[in-house]
Amino acid sequence: MSADMEPSKIELEIGVQWSWQVVCVTIHYFRVKMSENRGGFVDSALTLLIIKVFENKGILTMTKCAKLLTLIFCFCSFMPINGNCDTEAVPFPGAFGDRAVPYQERIDIMNRLESLYELYGTAQGAVSIHEKSSRIKAEVVGTSDSYPVYKFTFGNPKSQNRVAISSGIHAGTEPLAVVVAMKKLEEVVRRAQTDDDFYMVVYPLLNPWGFLKGTRHNSDGVDYNRVQTPNTVAEYVKSLARSLHGEEFNIALDLHGGIKRKQFFVIRAKDDDGLAARSLSVLPQPLRLESVSGQYPDYAEYKRDPTRYFMSAPGIIQSNTEGTLKAYMLKHAKESYSIEYPGQLERKTVIKKYLELIRSFEKEATVQTCNKRISA
């Protein structure tokens, strides 16, 4: 290279900084987009690439690597942010943000939960209820990667209308479920001031670490929704089980999201005498998931396993996978469901319809509604 074509020191420094920024951003984006099934391979490959860059310590090598990574990054940019239920993007403040629930909003939600706990909280395992409200109690039932896991209890413990709502077990990749749970939580705070004929337990955020990191797993790579079994050794699961000791519910709802989907659906743990179908009637037909053929019974579209999700009716899948929270909650509830929001639908619509669907399930599960249906 001739002297007049050699880069200046400043140009070299700028080139190195720019190259390193591209490497860092691309690594993050790859980890977010592919963290679940192929993340180990991607991390290893990119790590080796960076080591090679430092070994050579040449601006030409770094520039070539940066150009290559830029091309990869541009290609990934065409991949939909909400395009895979295992890989919804997030926590890179100032660079990338999930279009559904930005990183700062996630921080705000966790701060709001802490504030609600300070307002209504009791010591872990305490029997007494906070003096500010005889109908609201907040507890820390355990921790997830040092973050507190909260349980909120509302209403009259003697009521026969009993509902459990959980959310955020896959918080990082299905974040709108947590947003909806928070809106429901604050709705029930208001309701508890006047309504004495209901009892509700809400776990709004079961995986706070994953919520912040944009993953469905905890820091050890554990999927909490696969280890909810009686013989588990996970202390987190044991603490959740202890918090449910003695609890009984008419219905348990675990909030999730199908990020590739354009329609809502529920996964029921067992036959439910039409409760799910009646509850789903609150949604217009186009917002209920259809089977591959449009006929029933049949299977929902799922490329990894075309026979995994058996559909008995529009929007209704029957599955009781061992280790899921839905399956575990059958120990405490007459009926147990996962509700899945469509990740490809506009946020405002998802939140509105999700809340309507939750209320519909609550109504259908009340003693009064059941008695009316029996007498009819």
Residues 201 and 323 occupy one common structural domain: yes
Q: How far apart are CA 103 and CA 97, in angstroms?
A: 6
Tell me, what's the pLDDT at 372? 60
Q: How far apart are CA 164 and CA 320, in angstroms?
A: 18
What does the radius of gyration of the chain's CA atoms come to, in whole angstroms?
24
In a domain, 177, yes or no: yes
* pLDDT greater than 70 at residue 247: yes
* pLDDT greater than 80 at residue 3: no
In a domain, 281, yes or no: yes
Residues 138 and 267 occupy one common structural domain: yes
In a domain, 95, yes or no: no
In a domain, 86, yes or no: no
Residues 174 and 130 occupy one common structural domain: yes
Q: What percent of the chain has pLDDT over 90?
A: 56
Dihedral sign, CA of 321, 113, 162, 316? negative
Residues 232 and 335 occupy one common structural domain: yes
Tell me, what's the pLDDT at 236? 82
Total domains in the chain come to 2
Residues 225 and 360 occupy one common structural domain: yes
The pLDDT tens digits of the residues spanning 9-65 come to 555 555 555 555 555 555 555 544 444 333 334 444 554 455 455 545 555 555 565
Residues 348 and 240 occupy one common structural domain: yes
The pLDDT tens digits of the residues spanning 177-214 come to 999 999 999 999 999 988 989 999 999 999 999 999 99
Mean per-residue pLDDT of the chain: 79
pTM, rounded to two decimals: 0.74
370's enclosing H/E stretch is: helix 367-375
Tokens of 207: 């995986």
Range of lowest pLDDT (77-86, 269-278, 344-353): 77-86
Non-local CB neighbours of 318 within 8 Å, separated by 6+ positions: 267, 268, 270, 271, 310, 311, 312
In a domain, 8, yes or no: yes
Residues 327 and 260 occupy one common structural domain: yes
- Ranges of beta strands (E only) in the chain are 136-144, 147-155, 162-167, 199-203, 249-258, 265-268, 298-299, 310-313, 316-318, 333-342
Residues 61 and 154 occupy one common structural domain: no
Are the beta carbons of 300 and 201 closer than 8 angstroms?
Answer: no
Residues 189 and 259 occupy one common structural domain: yes
In a domain, 98, yes or no: no
* pLDDT greater than 60 at residue 89: no
CATH number at residue 140: 3.40.630.10
Domain that holds residue 71: 3-77
Q: What percent of the chain has pLDDT over 70?
A: 67
The pLDDT tens digits of the residues spanning 101-118 come to 999 999 999 999 999 999
The pLDDT tens digits of the residues spanning 138-151 come to 999 999 899 999 99
Tokens of 314: 């529009």
Residues 69 and 177 occupy one common structural domain: no
Residues 197 and 128 occupy one common structural domain: yes
In a domain, 85, yes or no: no
Q: How far apart are CA 81 and CA 92, in angstroms?
A: 14
Residues 52 and 189 occupy one common structural domain: no
Last residue of a domain, one of 59, 77, 95: 77
SS3 35: coil
